[in-house]
Chain A
Amino acid sequence: MSQRITVLVEHLEGQPTDVTFELLGLARRIAKTNGAAVEALLFGETVRHLAQTLPADRVVMVEHPLLRYLAPEATAITLTTLLRTDPPWLVLIPNTSLGMDVAAWVAATLDWPLIAYCEALEQHDGQLVATAQLFGGKILADVKLEDRPTVISALAGTFATDALPPAPPGTIEHRDPPAELAALRTRSVVLERPEAADVDITRAEKIVAVGRGIESKDNLELAEQVAEALGAVLAASRPLVDAGWLPRSRQVGKSGLKVKPKLYFALGISGAPEHLEGMKDAELIIAVNKDPKAPIFSVADYGVVADLFEVAEALLERLEG
């Protein structure tokens, strides 16, 4: 094991995703305190051009057509092969849809510990401590990092990028793809983009967002009315979209859209980490929730502990009356 901190680079359609830079920034901050080197692992079909954009001490590249979209099996096998031959101290993997599939597989295969849902990684009394979110963000767990290779899957939108030195990287190395890629049991991987939506919530200045607190599809009408009265568009948390009450294009969060409106008015949304990821950078966040411990209040500018129906109706009365 060397004092190396390795980051798995996530990219889509020729661009590293934001979380990649967040993890490189995190790795850099830890590296500074203990002299470790920061390594970026860049897999893809042809990714040479991306290597130049990565601020790391070393970029290790593996190119293969099957690595094009970073699909789970090919990525996990390639990553495991590299890590096994030259184990680093920490492996940082984004806790995204792509990363989630890889992190647990790699950790289980190598028999290394995994700390998932990590939102902070900091020195405390000379000891590196990871903080993970549990129970929908209602509880945090502090975990001591041992002196052994450890996989960490870290939340997107959580780590600052200010510690990053300017790219290009120190060195760029090329590795052969592992032989196992010839025997994958993933036969095809197709990427699809969504059709254009009726409303683009990422461009909206004002958003009224509803969550499971709205209780039924019929009650959505009340939220629509509030949105209309405020000149806002209606968006929602994931469960409402899964229930088919609103189209996918209205979903805010990790697997939905990231929004940054001037106003985000959240009604009956608990504020699970996956939701916060999509809206915490809104300029003004007002949240109504009957649970005073709802994590949404941790990102809100103004909070109201109340029944959303009462507040919505009172608002409507004022605005329309």
Chain B
Amino acid sequence: MTIVVVMEQVPDVVEELVIAPSGTDLDRDAVSYVINEYDDHALEEALLLAEATGDEVVAVGIDTTGELDQALYTALAKGARRAIKVTGDFEGAWLSTRAAAQLLVPVIKELDPRLVLTGVQAPDDLDGQLAPTLSALLGWPHASVVISSEIADGVVRARKELWAGITMTLELELPAVLGVQAARQAPRYVPISRVRQVMREASIETREVEPVGDLAPSLMRLRFPAETSQAEMLTGNASEIADRLIELLRARGLL
């Protein structure tokens, strides 16, 4: 049986982000893309599940950047059996979650999995999370913010994190959708040489699709947060800064 993992490339927020002249998108030329960190966890959780059940993991992504192959080959190198990239006339487009879900549903239906795993959230969407959106469109039960899972007797038992260490364990009938916050263990590492080998030996399947209309909120503009911060920036070399900090803490009776 099949477990689908949905993967997305997102702008690396560690880098400087630039707003495009249109004011409603990032300057995509200035962006470097990384795989959404929660997708690494979703993939890891899928691989762990599959190791226990003998399921086949299929990695699926929508290629909005023209650079998705690397991520999919990495997934194959880590143990996914197949990788599928959804392509179409949306390269460079900023897809809403709703549009992404609509594009993914036919591919998921074709694969007929018993479980779909996505990352819990991505930093680039205005309209919420994909896992519950897919759940609604597919009519399958779901849980997000999942930190461990187990397949047993026609159900998936998923542990969802609330807050302050409180968790909710749900038993969902299969097929189901999970939004993964963290895998049971840190995502596995795969050497680049192994990825290169996979690039020579395996291939990525493609599914060409038509773009969909969608109901994205009407974005007026993007902007940087106002510099409302009262933060006083301390400058100088490390020892001058250390002196200032100690002075500050002493003055407040904190040392």
Contact = CB atoms under 8 A, between A and B. Distances in A.
Contact of B17 (A96, A135, A305): A135
Contacts of A137: 225
Given A136-B13, A297-B231, A304-B241, A104 B97 contact: yes
A303 interface: yes
A303 B132 contact: no
Classify the interface of chain B: helix, strand, loop or mixed: mixed
A150 to B, nearest CB: 8
Interface string B111-142: 00000000011011111111111011100111
A262 B142 CA distance: 40
B241 A263 contact: no
A141 B166 contact: no
Given A104-B136, A136-B123, A139-B19, A300 B186 contact: no
A102 B132 contact: yes
A107 interface: yes
Contacts of B143: 71-72, 101
A132 B242 contact: no
Contact of A192 (B129, B131, B166): B166
Contact of B171 (A116, A188, A313): A188
Interface stretch (A21-29, A43-51, A253-261): A253-261
Contacts of B164: 194, 256-258
A205 to B, nearest CB: 8
B116 to A, nearest CB: 14
Nearest to B223: A140
Contact of B13 (A115, A138, A301): A138
Given A134-B123, A187-B155, A298 B172 contact: no
A139 B223 contact: yes
B219 A230 contact: no
Given A100-B132, A113-B215, A263-B249, A311 B238 contact: yes
Classify the interface of chain A: helix, strand, loop or mixed: mixed
A189 B216 contact: no
A73 B135 CA distance: 10
A191 B221 contact: no
B126 A104 contact: no
Contacts of A123: none
B145 interface: yes
Contacts of B230: 301
Interface stretch (A33-41, A159-167, A242-250): A242-250
A319 interface: yes
A315 B163 CA distance: 33
B32 interface: no
A230 B255 contact: yes
A76 B128 CA distance: 15
Contact of A100 (B13, B129, B182, B217): B129
Contacts of A242: 41, 182, 186
Contacts of B155: 187
Given A104-B129, A306-B241, A142 B221 contact: yes
A122 interface: no
Nearest to B135: A105
A69 interface: yes
Contacts of B124: 134-135
A284 B142 contact: no
Contacts of A189: 168-171
A172 interface: no
A116 B225 CA distance: 17
B136 to A, nearest CB: 4
A142 B142 CA distance: 30
B212 interface: no
B64 to A, nearest CB: 16
A315 B223 contact: no
A76 B140 CA distance: 13
Nearest to A202: B164
Interface in A202-237: 206, 230-231
23 contacts: A97-B145, A101-B129, A101-B145, A104-B131, A104-B132, A105-B135, A105-B136, A112-B215, A116-B127, A134-B124, A134-B222, A136-B123, A139-B223, A141-B219, A184-B141, A189-B168, A239-B37, A248-B165, A300-B229, A303-B232, A304-B234, A317-B242, A318-B246
Interface of B: 11, 13-14, 16-17, 19, 26, 37, 41, 97-98, 101, 120-121, 123-133, 135-137, 140-145, 155, 160-173, 176, 179, 181-182, 185-186, 215-225, 228-235, 238-239, 241-243, 245-246, 248-249, 252, 254-255
Interface of A: 12, 69, 71-73, 76, 96-98, 100-109, 111-117, 129-130, 132, 134-144, 146, 150, 153, 184-194, 206, 230-231, 239, 242-244, 248-249, 254-258, 262-263, 270, 284, 286-287, 291, 293, 295, 297-307, 310-311, 313-315, 317-319
Which 10 pairs show the lowest CB-CB distances between chains A and B?
Answer: A194-B165, A104-B128, A314-B242, A108-B136, A116-B128, A185-B173, A104-B132, A310-B238, A314-B238, A187-B171
